[in-house]
Chain A
Amino acid sequence: MATPETGALAGAVLVYLFFFAVAPPFRDLSSLSTVLYVSSIYGIPALAVAMLMIGGEFDLSSGVAVVSSALLASMVSYELTANVWVGVALSLVAALGMGALNGYLVIRTGIPSFLVTLGSFFMLGGLNLAGTRLVTGSVATPSISDMDGFASAQAIFASNLDLGGVSLRITVLWWLLFAALATWALRRAPFGNWIFAVGGAPLSARAVGVPVRRVKIGLFMTVGFAAWFVGMHQLFAFDTVQSGEGVGKEFYYIIAAVVGGCLLTGGQGSAVGAVLGALIFGMTTQGIVYAGWNPDWFKFFVGALLLGVILLNAGVRRWQEARA
């Protein structure tokens, strides 16, 4: 019981039962598949963001970084008329580099990551719009679906699997695989121990010899990787990218992590929690549609959920402390 994701589990069950009751189409297996797909698109970055938050930092640039990665991969491949994998690889390097830069600036300057990544959020957002306009003369990238390597990249990042008549997006499997890896890293690898330590007590961690800088930069790079991965999915699922997208998504990742039991101050949280947080998200987005409500209500529900789960978590924590 003494786990940070207790609130998220209760929330997920409640949200599921709620939409199961009010939205008949929600009960279909195919709807579940869609819910999982939407959850995975939020869930993959949310895993990385959760690890970063356990490590005591924020990344506000993760939402636009998804789009930056997709734009870069697409435009590099298109302009060079190269195999799309060239763009994919370059984009990965850029995403990891951006993460490392965020981390380096945070550590070097001691300025809170909230501010540093607020800056990189706006810069990347502007770069997405201006760079795309400069290269393509438009607000979207041209289609790359007829280029070399597109099919194989699509198979990896954006294919559909047929499971006995129900179609499942491959991102769901990637999401679960990443969740397993993140759980392993947090619970079994020494690196995971260090993540909890640098988040909960950075000075203590340094004093006992934990490489605080390396851990934090590694976490920012993990977020970069996750953003890149989802960016690649979007590129190969839709084959063009809108340069203005992604703004605001970073909050969804953070909300999923917090709903999943991450402390804003670091030092606590789990990958399973982030999975549940993203699942609550996916269920809410799709549940509103299946219930036939106006999707305008989505943000209201998300906000209410966030508040509800935070209060629940705080209550559970107080109850556990009272018992301990």
Chain B
Amino acid sequence: MSAPLLRLTGVGKTYGAVRALAEVDLEVAAGEITCVLGDNGAGKSTLIKIIAGVHESDEGQVELGGEAVRLRSPRLAIECGVATVYQDLAIAPLMPVWANFFLGRELLKGRGPFQRMDIARMREIARSELAAMGIDGVDVERPIGGLSGGQRQCVAIARAIHFGAKVLILDEPTAALGVKQAGVVLRYVLAARARGLGVVFITHNPHHAYSVGDRFLLLQRGRSQGCFLKSEITLEDLTRRMAGGIELDELAHELENRGAPAARIAGA
């Protein structure tokens, strides 16, 4: 088997006295969705920042396509084919969809002082790329701020794919969405996988993760609580671990032993 698109081995990061992440291993293969699950403060964002080149890791190794790399800046990460869709999506709400799609990578035409943006072509490509993701009927001339949360998410994903991402990192793409919108986004995550990308899907929702994921990395307080293939874990187990299940079990057990007060707490 060829090397995975992205492999992290023993990665760690310390901010001052806080060890935000320690000894984390992660593997992302082409055409696979790797979910990173954890509660707030589990180290999910630190992990993304390392992969996206925002922060460099202090320990461990990052490999892309089998080669060790140092991702020193977001720009470098993008050039290496790692695209990150952040929670805030990195969009300018007042600008039209097409301008957002090509922001920072505008297509040009003409020469010398007459060089200018090829707006017609950018509009056309944005429209067709969105259509390829199954998003029809979006007026690319509209300010992107006027689209629904799910649609904005999809534009950001389509943009990453168009610009040659091999590894797509999605930072809590469903967190702020309603049930229906989240479903729409999950469908696009699957579409990205179908196009052969390696997807890192960060979430704290085990239901969303389990419905699309192939592999699950559980993080807790900056440490890995294990990495599982879908065949190795059930949704119940994932949910329980995710919710700090083992700790909750211990707590419930402790409360039971104390008798009556536990019932009151459980009832409350």
Q: Are A and B bound to each other?
A: yes
Total interface residues on A, using CB and 8 Å?
A: 20
- Top 8 closest A-B pairs, CB basis? A207-B90, A190-B106, A201-B92, A209-B104, A204-B90, A188-B116, A208-B104, A200-B92
Contact check, B95 vs A196: say whether CB atoms are below 8 A apart. yes
Instruction: Give CA–CA (A189, B117) in the complex, Å.
Output: 6
Given contacts A189-B116, A196-B95, A197-B95, contact A203 B103 (CB under 8 A): no
Contact check, B117 vs A188: say whether CB atoms are below 8 A apart. yes
Instruction: Give CA–CA (A267, B100) in the complex, Å.
Output: 13
Instruction: Give CA–CA (A94, B182) in the complex, Å.
Output: 55
Contact check, B75 vs A209: say whether CB atoms are below 8 A apart. yes
* Shortest Cβ gap from B77 to chain A (Å): 11
Return the contact of B104 from the options A196, A205, A324 (Cβ within 8 A): A205
Q: Identify whether the interface residues of B are mostly helix, strand, loop, or mixed.
A: loop
Instruction: Give CA–CA (A33, B99) in the complex, Å.
Output: 39
**Residues of B with C-beta under 8 A to A196:** 92, 94-95, 99
Chain B's interface size range is: 20 to 34
Given contacts A189-B117, A193-B99, A209-B78, contact A267 B88 (CB under 8 A): no
Q: A203-B90, A204-B91, A267-B95 are in contact. List 10 more A-B contacts (CB 8 A).
A: A188-B116, A196-B95, A197-B99, A197-B104, A201-B90, A203-B88, A204-B90, A205-B90, A207-B74, A268-B94
Question: For the complex, is A194 an interface residue (Cβ under 8 Å from B)?
Answer: yes
Question: For the complex, is B258 an interface residue (Cβ under 8 Å from A)?
Answer: no
Q: Which residue of B lies closest to A267 (CB)?
A: B94
Question: For the complex, is B105 an interface residue (Cβ under 8 Å from A)?
Answer: yes
Q: Which residue of B lies closest to A188 (CB)?
A: B116
Question: For the complex, is B4 an interface residue (Cβ under 8 Å from A)?
Answer: no
Question: For the complex, is A8 an interface residue (Cβ under 8 Å from B)?
Answer: no
* Shortest Cβ gap from B48 to chain A (Å): 12
Q: Which residue of B lies closest to A184 (CB)?
A: B116
| Residue with the highest number of chain B CB atoms closer than 10 Å, among A188, A189, A324 | A188
- The contact sample of 6 A-B pairs, CB cut-off 8 A, is A184-B116, A196-B94, A201-B92, A207-B74, A208-B90, A324-B142
* Shortest Cβ gap from A101 to chain B (Å): 26
Contact check, B105 vs A209: say whether CB atoms are below 8 A apart. yes
Instruction: Give CA–CA (A150, B19) in the complex, Å.
Output: 68
Question: For the complex, is B86 an interface residue (Cβ under 8 Å from A)?
Answer: yes
Instruction: Give CA–CA (A267, B116) in the complex, Å.
Output: 20
Q: Which residue of A lies closest to B75 (CB)?
A: A209
Contact check, B103 vs A205: say whether CB atoms are below 8 A apart. yes
Instruction: Give CA–CA (A267, B146) in the complex, Å.
Output: 15
Q: Which of A177-233 contact B (CB under 8 A)?
A: 184, 188-190, 193-194, 196-197, 200-201, 203-205, 207-210
Instruction: Give CA–CA (A203, B86) in the complex, Å.
Output: 11
**Residues of A with C-beta under 8 A to B93:** 200-201, 267
Given contacts A193-B99, A324-B146, contact A204 B94 (CB under 8 A): no
* Shortest Cβ gap from A88 to chain B (Å): 24
Q: Which residue of A lies closest to B119 (CB)?
A: A188
Instruction: Give CA–CA (A184, B114) in the complex, Å.
Output: 10
| Residue with the highest number of chain A CB atoms closer than 10 Å, among B89, B94, B102, B146 | B94
Q: Which residue of A lies closest to B142 (CB)?
A: A324
* Shortest Cβ gap from B76 to chain A (Å): 11
Q: Which residue of B lies closest to A196 (CB)?
A: B95
Instruction: Give CA–CA (A201, B89) in the complex, Å.
Output: 11
Given contacts A200-B94, A204-B88, A209-B78, contact A193 B106 (CB under 8 A): yes
Q: Which of A266-311 contact B (CB under 8 A)?
A: 267-268
Write the B79-98 contact mask toward A (1 if CB under 8 angstroms, else 0).
00000101011111111000
Instruction: Give CA–CA (A207, B78) in the complex, Å.
Output: 10
Instruction: Give CA–CA (A205, B104) in the complex, Å.
Output: 8
Instruction: Give CA–CA (A267, B92) in the complex, Å.
Output: 8
Return the contact of B86 from the options A188, A207, A209 (Cβ within 8 A): A207
Question: For the complex, is B108 an interface residue (Cβ under 8 Å from A)?
Answer: yes
**Residues of A with C-beta under 8 A to B94:** 196, 200, 267-268
* Shortest Cβ gap from A121 to chain B (Å): 29
Instruction: Give CA–CA (A203, B88) in the complex, Å.
Output: 9
**Residues of A with C-beta under 8 A to B142:** 324
* Shortest Cβ gap from A255 to chain B (Å): 22
Contact check, B103 vs A197: say whether CB atoms are below 8 A apart. yes
**Residues of B with C-beta under 8 A to A267:** 92-95
| Residue with the highest number of chain A CB atoms closer than 10 Å, among B88, B99, B117 | B117
* Shortest Cβ gap from A213 to chain B (Å): 14
**Residues of A with C-beta under 8 A to B115:** 189
Write the B30-41 contact mask toward A (1 if CB under 8 angstroms, else 0).
000000000000
**Residues of A with C-beta under 8 A to B78:** 209
Q: Which residue of A lies closest to B102 (CB)?
A: A193
Instruction: Give CA–CA (A305, B235) in the complex, Å.
Output: 63
Instruction: Give CA–CA (A184, B89) in the complex, Å.
Output: 28
**Residues of A with C-beta under 8 A to B99:** 193, 196-197
Q: Which of B100-153 contact A (CB under 8 A)?
A: 102-106, 108, 115-117, 119, 142, 146
